[in-house]
């Protein structure tokens, strides 16, 4: 099979490319400029002409993907801005939403051989912020972020702007499907991952250039940005980047996943869990909170992962396994 992966140079997408190539697929990756393709060609040189790149300069332009989708059997749409320094929320929302609709429109018109499109959404599209503990499911939508951005605009919290962009992009994808349901030869699968951590394959010249989620991991686990209280009480849900890449491949392989949004997530964590895992892997991190007892930790936010288990057969790596490989990666890069 031939698979298009958008934003192939990103943290998650490069793992998706790698897993697809390992499984024998031919992969076409999109990047924004030729200079970003070079590192990918070096990384996947062993796969010869089974890997190619195409430049899509502006994903928001209608027709941007017309050429890229031609001849593809499946598409993994991973590209979307993920950073927390947007002034105008549209810096995130426009590429997230229009990038998605332009891709789907190109696939509608020129994707004659496309059978499935997988869209990387986020748990940000279904979780809202609240005071009481809650288990989120695929039935939830983050209306809160959209409302807050509408109300506050530029003054909305950075996290909220990002979350609104993901919610609106995913909604645009489902709206497109609804509108065109009788005219499409392909179906849609949406993957909703929480925070993504794990070793990196992509080009990262300095720790300052880490992608947003690994930047947070590095700051909290290696640089010691959190105090003892925060380490024992703050956390979230997460998924390992390699598990997430596997989910993207399974999502194009499992017929029964069609038309579904699917949460993929490991169990919740507190940051001290990561410090403990890192120290067990001989990473020279500070001890943090030595009174922390994981058995007594309560988790405010969790997610129902039964659908991913049922449809994709997902199982998940532990912080220990992930920390070991992150440590090796950071050492190789000279970041620790
Ligand atoms: P990265 O920042 O590493 O990758 C983002 C990719 O999207 C890059 O290829 C980037 O290209 C591309 N991109 C960003 N903005 C634009 C734009 N305006 N036009 C075209 N391309 C653009 O992030 P991740 O790999 O972590 O994220 C990938 C996807 O996963 C995103 O959809 C994100 O929302 C989602 N996600 C990530 C989570 C995480 O914790 N990391 C959690 C949940 C979902 P370039 O390098 O040229 O900027």
Alpha-carbon distance of 77 to 55, in angstroms, equals 15
Tell me, using a 6 A CB cutoff, whether residue 122 lines ligand 1.
yes
Tell me, using a 6 A CB cutoff, whether residue 98 lines ligand 1.
no
Range of the structural domain that residue 143 is part of: 2-197+238-265+305-314
Examine residue 250 and state whether it is found in any structural domain, yes or no: yes
**Residue 159 has what pLDDT?**
97
**Residue 283 has what pLDDT?**
87
- Compute the distance from residue 14 Cα to the ligand 1 centre, in Å: 11
Examine residue 214 and state whether it is found in any structural domain, yes or no: no
Tell me, using a 6 A CB cutoff, whether residue 166 lines ligand 1.
yes
Examine residue 226 and state whether it is found in any structural domain, yes or no: no
Examine residue 293 and state whether it is found in any structural domain, yes or no: no
Alpha-carbon distance of 244 to 11, in angstroms, equals 11
**Residue 284 has what pLDDT?**
84
Examine residue 15 and state whether it is found in any structural domain, yes or no: yes
**Residue 282 has what pLDDT?**
84
Alpha-carbon distance of 143 to 168, in angstroms, equals 9
Q: What is the ipTM of this complex?
A: 0.99
Examine residue 270 and state whether it is found in any structural domain, yes or no: no
This prediction has a pTM of 0.99
- The CATH number covering residue 155 comes to 3.40.50.720
- Compute the distance from residue 231 Cα to the ligand 1 centre, in Å: 27
Q: In this structure, which residue's CA is closest to atom 32 in ligand 1?
A: 80
Tell me, using a 6 A CB cutoff, whether residue 59 lines ligand 1.
yes
Residues 6 or more apart whose CB falls under 8 angstroms from that of 114 comprise 69, 72, 73, 74, 75, 107, 185, 186
What DSSP string describes 99-144?
HHHHHHHHHHHH-TT--EEEEE--GGGT----SS-EEE-TT---HH
- Compute the distance from residue 177 Cα to the ligand 1 centre, in Å: 23
What are the CB-based long-range contacts (under 8 Å, 24+) for 13-18?
13/76, 13/78, 13/79, 14/40, 14/43, 14/201, 14/202, 15/198, 15/201, 15/241, 15/242, 15/244, 15/245, 16/76, 16/78, 16/245, 16/248, 16/249, 17/44, 17/51, 18/43, 18/44, 18/201, 18/245
Q: In this structure, which residue's CA is closest to atom 14 in ligand 1?
A: 81
Tell me, using a 6 A CB cutoff, whether residue 12 lines ligand 1.
yes
Q: In this structure, which residue's CA is closest to atom 11 in ligand 1?
A: 7
First to last CA, the chain: 40
What DSSP string describes 236-287?
E-EEEHHHHHHHHHHHHH-GGGTT-EEE--PPPEEHHHHHHHHHHTT-----
Tell me, using a 6 A CB cutoff, whether residue 29 lines ligand 1.
no
Examine residue 88 and state whether it is found in any structural domain, yes or no: yes
pLDDT means over runs of 10, the chain (336 residues): 98 99 98 97 98 98 98 98 97 98 98 98 97 96 98 98 98 98 96 98 98 98 96 98 99 98 98 97 90 95 98 98 97 96
Examine residue 281 and state whether it is found in any structural domain, yes or no: no
Q: In this structure, which residue's CA is closest to atom 1 in ligand 1?
A: 10
Of ligand 1's listed atoms, the one at least distance from the Cα of 8 is 9
Calculate the CA 57 to chain-centre distance. Answer: 21
């Amino acid at each position: 099979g031939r698979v298009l992966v958008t934003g192939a140079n990103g943290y998650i997408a490069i793992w998706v490319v790698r897993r697809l190539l390992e499984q024998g697929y031919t992969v076409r990756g999109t990047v924004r400029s030729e200079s970003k393709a070079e590192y990918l060609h070096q990384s996947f040189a062993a796969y010869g002409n089974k890997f190619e790149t195409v430049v899509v300069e502006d994903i928001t332009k209608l027709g941007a993907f017309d050429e890229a989708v031609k001849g593809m059997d499946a598409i993994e749409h991973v590209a979307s801005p993920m950073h927390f320094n947007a002034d105008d929320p549209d810096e995130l929302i426009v590429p997230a939403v229009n990038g998605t609709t332009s891709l789907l429109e190109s696939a509608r018109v020129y994707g004659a051989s496309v059978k499935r499109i997988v869209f990387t959404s986020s748990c940000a599209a279904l979780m809202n912020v609240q005071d009481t503990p809650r288990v989120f499911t695929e039935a939830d939508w983050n209306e809160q972020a959209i409302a807050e951005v509408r109300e506050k605009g530029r003054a909305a919290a950075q996290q909220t702007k990002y979350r609104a962009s993901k919610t609106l992009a995913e909604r645009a994808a489902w709206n497109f499907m609804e509108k065109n349901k009788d005219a499409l030869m392909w179906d849609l699968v949406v993957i909703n991952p929480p925070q993504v951590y794990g070793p990196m394959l992509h080009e990262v010249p300095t720790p300052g250039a880490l992608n947003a989620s690994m930047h947070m991991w590095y700051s909290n686990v290696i640089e010691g940005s959190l105090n003892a209280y925060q380490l024992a009480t703050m956390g979230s849900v997460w998924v390992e980047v390699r598990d997430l890449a596997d989910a993207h491949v399974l999502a194009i392989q499992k017929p029964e996943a069609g038309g579904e949004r699917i949460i993929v997530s490991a169990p919740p964590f507190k940051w001290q869990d990561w410090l403990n895992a890192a120290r067990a892997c001989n990473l020279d991190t500070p001890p943090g909170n030595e009174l922390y007892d994981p058995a007594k930790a309560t988790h405010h936010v969790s997610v129902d992962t039964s659908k991913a288990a049922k449809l994709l057969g997902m199982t998940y790596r532990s912080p220990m396994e992930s920390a070991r490989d992150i440590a090796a990666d950071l050492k190789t890069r000279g970041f620790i």
